[in-house]
Amino acid sequence: MKIVKTIADFNKLRPELTAPVGFVPTMGYLHEGHLELVRQARAENPSVAVSIFVNPTQFGPKEDFKQYPRDPERDLALLEKEGADIVFMPPAEEMYPPDFNSWVEVGKLAERLEGAARPGHFRGVATVVARLFNIVRPDKAYFGQKDAQQLVVIKKMAADLDMGIEVIAVPTVREPDGLAMSSRNTYLNDEERKQAVVLYQALKLAQKLYSDGEKDAKAIREQMTALIGQQPLADIEYISIADAETLDELDTVKQSALVSMAVRFGKTRLIDNVVVG
Ligand code: AMP
């Protein structure tokens, strides 16, 4: 496994990668969710590239950029085990030199849900992913369903800008109790961690209500809100039931609607989602 920190070094090694090249962008502090993306890339491509970069431009000024967990040694050992061919882990100056001044905006899709709660977030995500795509030049790129809106935004960017990259969704990997794996779960204290399972329970409730015939989005949201409200440390930021492609909010729930939410536990903000059907 090759480890490179500069674009120049990546360019030197790029010709050695046999097509198709599968690419997994991450912010590191890897868990089973990330590794599942790597495994799928490994299974579908002769070459696998992974990036580790905590992207400063996708964090708001009051967010957790500085304290975001980092453990590059452990990450590299895990990637080696999964058989990644090349890991790109640039320092911030490599991705954002002082005169860097071009940005990718994905418009309406990036303005709602996470984009509304975190202004500028998807501008940072789309810009860094576009730049990583141009550096790595993959054929296929793997993203987790865990970040459902990110997936929609990246797919739209790749299509609108004719990037020629197939964007592939990988199902959310969960802890045994159902909590979606996330690098941010390490922020939770014991009591918050116990109560955080309610996100998954609320999503399962939404799925069950829908399967039992409830199609009224407001009624489903109310029941989810009541369930989450039973956990005293949970503070709901939003619960959305939206069209999975346009992200338009729905009054009447339909097949393949995206039920998503952001819930705070103390300082920790968790997101999760399910596609009903
Ligand atoms: P991050 O390091 O948080 O930027 O995540 C890197 C990639 O891993 C993104 O495509 C995420 O959607 C994906 N990912 C994160 N957590 C999970 C999970 N629990 N299951 C599946 N994919 C995930």
Give the DSSP letter string of 203-242.
HHHHHHHHHTT--BHHHHHHHHHHHHHTSTTEEEEEEEEE
Taking CA atoms only, the protein residue closest to ligand 1 atom 6 is 26
pLDDT digits (tens, 9 = 90+) for 109-153: 999 999 999 999 999 999 999 999 999 999 999 999 999 999 999
The whole-chain average pLDDT of the chain stands at 98
Any ligand 1 atom below 6 A from CB of 26: yes
Where is 274: in which H helix or E strand? Answer: strand 268-275
Helices first, then strands: H and E counts in the chain:
10, 9
For ligand 1, say whether the CB of 173 is within 6 Å of any of its atoms: yes
Rounded to the nearest angstrom, the distance between the alpha carbon of 29 and the centre of ligand 1 is 11
Catalytic residue list contains 121: no
Predicted pLDDT at 63: 96
Mean of pLDDT values over 198-212:
98
CA dihedral 181, 187, 193, 199 (to 10 degrees): -50
Q: What per-residue confidence (pLDDT) applies to 16?
A: 97
From the list 234, 172, 173, the residue with the least C-alpha distance to 198 is 234
The model's pLDDT over 16-35, given as tens digits with 9 standing for 90+, comes to 999 999 999 999 999 999 99
* pLDDT for 193: 98
Q: How far is the CA of 180 from the centre of ligand 1 (A)?
A: 10
Rg of the chain over all Cα atoms, to the nearest angstrom: 19
Nearest residue (CA) to ligand 1, atom 8: 34
> Measured in angstroms, how far is the CA atom of residue 147 from the centroid of ligand 1?
7
Token readout for 43 is 């299974």
- Cα angle: 238, vertex 186, 76; to 5 degrees: 120
Average pLDDT over residues 230-253: 98
- Best residue among 31, 118, 147, 167 to mutate for probing ligand 1, ranked by most atoms within 8 Å of CB: 147
Q: How confident is the model at residue 203 (pLDDT cuts 50, 70, 90)?
A: very high
Q: To the nearest whole percent, how much of the chain has pLDDT over 70?
A: 100
Quote the pLDDT of residue 94: 98
- Residue 123's pLDDT is 98
